[in-house]
Amino acid sequence: MYYVNQDQIERRLNAIPEIARGLREAAEAWDGGLVYGFVQERALHLAIEIVTDVGSYLIDGFIMRDASSYEDIMDIIHQEKVMPDDIHAVLLQLVRLRKPLVQEYYDWERHSLHPLSSVLPEVLERFAADVRDYLKREL
């Protein structure tokens, strides 16, 4: 019997609609200014934390192999059929932004709209649905 912390997974997935909204609004109103730059930056960072946290809860709860990196978290849950190839590809791009956003923030380009900002809202929403479907299937 598995112990999957569904409460913590759901709490994180429930944050996705606001992050998606922030990304959509920033992309639609993009003016290259600092405020939208910070909105984008924070939303991307939160999206990374959500998908890696959820992935870690799934890995721990279903006793999947140990992950060695953020990218590996995405690879493992993809291999376990949590999400399809297209979502996996975008989320890999997303988690690769963690180091630039968190450790090299002083070099982050805040005045340009990042290409993921326009596609990520839908991807995050699909990720949440995929995770919920996976939990229903497996539990």
For position 2, what pLDDT does the model report? Answer: 79
**Are 103 and 128 in contact, with CB atoms under 8 Å apart?**
no
Of 80, 81, 77, 79, nearest to 95 by C-alpha is 77
**Residues 54-109: tens digit of each pLDDT:** 999 999 999 999 999 999 999 999 999 999 999 999 999 999 999 999 999 999 99
Look up residue 119 and give its amino acid.
Answer: V
**Are 54 and 7 in contact, with CB atoms under 8 Å apart?**
no
Can 137 be counted among the known catalytic residues?
A: no
Pick the catalytic residue from 96, 98, 110, 132.
98
Q: Please say if the pLDDT value at position 1 is more than 90.
A: no
Helix spans in 1-139 (H): 6-13, 16-28, 34-61, 70-79, 85-95, 98, 116-138
**Residues 30-58: tens digit of each pLDDT:** 999 999 999 999 999 999 999 999 999 99
**Residues 3-26: tens digit of each pLDDT:** 999 999 999 999 999 999 999 999
